[in-house]
Amino acid sequence: MLDTSLLIETEQLSFQFGPTPILRAVSLQVPTGSIYGFLGPNGAGKSTTLRLLLGLLPAPAGSVRLFGHDLGRHREALLRHVGALIESPSLYEHLSGRDNLEATRRLRGLPAARTATVLALVGLTADAHRPVRQYSLGMRQRLSIALALLPDPELLILDEPTNGLDPNGIIELRELLRYLQREHGKTILVSSHLLSEVERVASHVGVIRGGELLFQGSLADLQLHQAGQAHIVIETQDAAACRQLLPAELADAHVTSAGTLQLPFRSPERVAALVQQLVAVGQPLYQIACRQPSLEDTFLHLTAARA
Ligand SMILES: Nc1ncnc2c1ncn2[C@@H]1O[C@H](COP(=O)(O)OP(=O)(O)OP(=O)(O)O)[C@@H](O)[C@H]1O
């Protein structure tokens, strides 16, 4: 069934380079209007997936739908609505930022006004006259995004756009993506190997490792997944003795050191009951804490799970 709320939808996308499987049945779902963070360690298959979405690799097994239509059948028409930054585009170093854009704009027969529009969008108007060789890496990235924005695409696909940027450049890029989504209604698929780079800007995330999609959902879903991993840590005198005295209550507890027990957090009521029971059997409680893994921990846990 056609789901128009999804701007990108792949079904069981598989791909191999020669005999080596690179992607295994990846079913990506990128909602219209989202910023989708596509996360995974180096070699996970992110670039390969993005290339397949752009028809840059031979037809894979499985299907790719963009804007609800099959990419294989309507490639040219669909890609007119997509702007992509897959590898750093070759910029003409001796030309100004504006002239770099003009060269591409003319080649593609786009309206003259687009150049000034995209320069303003990426915040390069004031530097438009300077030769690109004087640009910082962050400015080059923004110019590259301006090139991708020239045809006013509804979908932007950016492969690791923060690579090599300094913290300031990363913040600028994040703000640009947010602005493009909020004010211009773009859907943005952005890949990264660092959760921290996308978690503040993404509404949705997909986590890939070894060519398999391990998690996909809204950032809120990931946070929920994270909440499910909270645990409590109890510092006492003799952890093993506690387990023996309360075998049912501490059935899912691990003795992590002579005086430490760790168990999954279920509810505040359970914590309160446990405290009472430990005291009732005469065990001293030195400390009790609830530990919530960070989103980064959750991401690392996910991506390390099948190492
Ligand atoms: N042209 C190719 N021929 C053979 N294997 C390839 C080719 N391109 C990529 N691969 C392999 O495919 C796997 C996935 O690579 P891909 O570039 O998609 O990963 P990635 O998640 O984008 O990682 P990175 O962040 O390092 O680019 C890797 O094991 C890589 O070695």
Q: Is 209 near ligand 1, meaning CB less than 6 Å away?
A: no
Q: How far is CA 76 from CA 54, 56, 230, in A?
A: 10, 12, 48
**Distance from the alpha carbon of residue 46 to the mean position of ligand 1, in angstroms:** 8
Q: Which atom of ligand 1 is nearest to the CA of 18?
A: 4
Q: Is 40 near ligand 1, meaning CB less than 6 Å away?
A: yes
Confidence at residue 306, expressed as pLDDT on a 0 to 100 scale: 52
CA separation for the pair 236, 263 (Å, rounded): 14
**Residue corresponding to tokens 């995004």:** 145
User: Probe ligand 1: pick from 16, 38, 39, 46, max atoms within 8 Å of CB?
Assistant: 46
**Distance from the alpha carbon of residue 277 to the mean position of ligand 1, in angstroms:** 54
Q: Is 47 near ligand 1, meaning CB less than 6 Å away?
A: yes
Using DSSP's 3-state secondary structure scheme, residue 238 falls into coil
- Whether the ipTM is more than 0.90: the answer is yes
Specify the CATH number for 6-218; select among 3.40.50.1100, 3.40.1080.10, 3.10.20.600, 3.40.50.300: 3.40.50.300
Q: Is 46 near ligand 1, meaning CB less than 6 Å away?
A: yes
Q: Is 207 near ligand 1, meaning CB less than 6 Å away?
A: no
- The answer to whether 121 touches 148, Cβ cutoff 8 Å, is no
- The answer to whether 272 touches 203, Cβ cutoff 8 Å, is no
Measured on CA atoms in the order 164, 165, 166, 167, is the torsion positive or negative?
A: negative
**Residue corresponding to tokens 């770099």:** 100
Q: How far is CA 7 from CA 68, 75, 163, 188, 222, in A?
A: 7, 15, 26, 10, 21
Give the residue from 105, 84, 205, 101 showing the smallest Cα distance to 156.
Answer: 84
Which pLDDT band holds residue 44 (cuts at 50, 70, 90)? very high
Going by alpha carbons, the residue nearest to atom 3 of ligand 1 is 17
Question: Encoding tokens for residue 34?
Answer: 């989202």
CA separation for the pair 187, 176 (Å, rounded): 13
Give the residue from 303, 89, 132 showing the smallest Cα distance to 212.
Answer: 303
Question: Encoding tokens for residue 252?
Answer: 């899912």
Q: What is the mean pLDDT of the chain?
A: 90
Using DSSP's 3-state secondary structure scheme, residue 37 falls into strand
Confidence at residue 4, expressed as pLDDT on a 0 to 100 scale: 61
Q: Is residue 72 pLDDT above 70, yes or no?
A: yes
CA separation for the pair 271, 185 (Å, rounded): 46
| Over residues 235-242, mean pLDDT | 95
Q: Is 24 near ligand 1, meaning CB less than 6 Å away?
A: no
Which pLDDT band holds residue 239 (cuts at 50, 70, 90)? very high
**Structural domain spans, the chain:** 6-218, 230-291
Q: Is 58 near ligand 1, meaning CB less than 6 Å away?
A: no
Q: Which atom of ligand 1 is nearest to the CA of 159?
A: 22
Q: For domain 230-291, give the CATH number.
A: 3.30.70.1150
Fold agreement (6-218, 230-291) = no
CA angle (70, 74, 80) in 5-degree steps? 115
Confidence at residue 256, expressed as pLDDT on a 0 to 100 scale: 92
**Residue corresponding to tokens 């702007």:** 83
Digit-coded pLDDT (tens) for 114-153: 999 999 999 999 999 999 999 998 899 899 999 999 999 9
